[in-house]
Structure 1
Amino acid sequence: MTFVDLKGVSLTYRLGKETTLALADATFSINKGEFIAVVGPSGCGKSTIMKLVTGLLPASSGEVRVAGEKVTGPIKGVGMAFQNPTLMPWRTTMDNILLPMEVVEPHKRRFRSNRAEYEAQAMKLLQTVGLADFARRYPWQLSGGMQQRSNLCRALIHEPELLMLDEPFGALDAFTREELWGVMQALWLEKRFTGVLVTHDLREAVYLADTVYVMSKRPGRIVLSRKIDIPRPRSLATTFEPHFVDLVHELRDRISQEHA
């Protein structure tokens, strides 16, 4: 069942009299529970697609629909995680994760009276990502990888149907990044949310996604849709298998054509 649908979507940025066509005629759909990745040259409009899908930016032309509804403004029921964790330094890991429950209805009105229930829900997530022993620690007491795990938990605590990930592991070292691919996969296998990952890391895209979309240089267009026919669960050993390596090279070659 189609959950996210873009039809002929373009976006033009205007700054005074200057205009920049950032995205041109983007057309693709994402099924409910599917995990897709968007890759392409820098500045091609990958993050723009995320803003259009979540309603943070209105399309200049074309149509965006989520769950059958036309997107006309910021949508509800979406989780977001970015390259920087943006955890509040004065709140513990637990309190950072519970923040959406304090501000998002219907949880907001029942948060105080049902806090123990919400804490149990958060603790289950923390156990999944290996942070159960760090619930009462502050961000400055966590490594970068731990902070990003906390960030993922916060994005998922209200059980969104749609999770948007904008370079979530880009600031981490290679070892930690690869470790978090496994964490992200485990969360998806358990929750089966619809996932959209924007990344420059082609191995990351192939590891996590059902389908990888390659975008052209600006103005961004979808120039390749590649199904990833590798069974899950995938492991780091999978990334060294010939078929995995071939897929990464295929994507890299297509992006290289855009630089030519």
Structure 2
Amino acid sequence: MSSSFVELNNVTLRYSEGDDLALDTTDMKIRKGEFIAVVGPSGCGKSSLLKLVSGLMPPSNGTVIVDAKEVAGPLKIVGMAFQNPTLLPWRTTLDNVLLPLEIVKPHRNRLRKHKQEYIERARDLLATVGLAGHENKYPWELSGGMQQRASLCRALIHEPDLLMLDEPFGALDAFTREELWDILQNLWLKRPFTVILVTHDLREAAYLADTVYVMSKRPGKILVARDNTLPRPRDQETTFTQPFTDLVHELRSHIRDVRAA
């Protein structure tokens, strides 16, 4: 019996007949509650990996297993956040955060009867990320960083076991990005859900992840799985330490080798 929460076994992915492979013989094992990051050159299949694990696409070959069951369709236990917050412009911050509860079972069946309980949960989550007092504002009234905080809350409101993040901070300025690293880390330390973070930012990977996976050029496969032993909780002072700098340089060296291959 595997102790992995997420497992990819010899997975290949071809988007359609005649296309080149997007992923080739990819293997990965992620423990329950582990925070992993995936880095690699553009077009290497990082986002394809998320689609496979979340059940949005089936593999061409191999198996994807989540929570001891083979993935056969979109998973209910997943929360997702992307580079663009994709908040609905006609809904307030609070209503945007509540959106998954209208869709995901069993919450959608409980929402009407227990709405006040869910509203309090959403308000608490928004307060945790510094958005108390902004519940009734619309997306266009929020900065990019505030929109991304609301997007994180929306991804977590239904308390998913698995959080998938696709370049969630890539469009933000450096200061806001680092602030959101701390917010995400604090949310995860309070309730260690399993996280798969796709990022181009090697500092972000080193700051947040327990394990960093480096992918090859397309067709993507895992070349390196690097354990990150930096102690938690990490703070911005961590980024100035030699072990942090060494890890970032090591990851950069792997990416350089991938590009040169």
**What residue in structure 2 maps to residue 155 of structure 1?**
155
Residue 165 of structure 2: SS of its match in structure 1? strand
**What residue in structure 1 maps to residue 174 of structure 2?**
174
**What residue in structure 1 maps to residue 194 of structure 2?**
194
TM-score (norm 2): 0.97
Separation in 2, partners of 1:254, 1:75: 32
Q: Deviation of residue 133 (structure 1)?
A: 1.3
Q: Does structure 1 conserve the Cα–Cα contact (< 8 Å) formed by 2:89 and 2:139?
A: yes
**What residue in structure 1 maps to residue 145 of structure 2?**
145
**What residue in structure 2 maps to residue 89 of structure 1?**
89
2:4 to 2, 9, 14: 2
Separation in 1, partners of 2:110, 2:13: 39
Q: Deviation of residue 86 (structure 1)?
A: 0.5
Separation in 2, partners of 1:98, 1:72: 27
Question: For 1:108-147, what aligned pairs fall within 5 Å after superposition?
Answer: 108-147=108-147
Separation in 2, partners of 1:73, 1:106: 17
Q: Which runs of 4+ in 1 moved over 6 A?
A: none
Question: For 1:206-221, what aligned pairs fall within 5 Å after superposition?
Answer: 206-221=206-221
Unaligned runs of 5+ in 1: none
Unaligned runs of 5+ in 2: none
Q: Does 1:11 align with 2:13?
A: yes
**What residue in structure 1 maps to residue 239 of structure 2?**
239
Residues 145-195 of structure 1 deviation map (CA, whole Å, 9 limit, x = unaligned): 000000000000000000000000001111111110001101100121000
Separation in 2, partners of 1:245, 1:134: 37
**What residue in structure 1 maps to residue 22 of structure 2?**
22
Residues 91-131 of structure 1 deviation map (CA, whole Å, 9 limit, x = unaligned): 11111000111121211122122111001111111111011
Q: Deviation of residue 14 (structure 1)?
A: 2.0
1:146 maps to amino acid: M
TM-score (norm 1): 0.97
Identity of aligned residues (%): 64
Question: CA RMSD, aligned part only?
Answer: 0.9
Residue 254 of structure 1: SS of its match in structure 2? helix
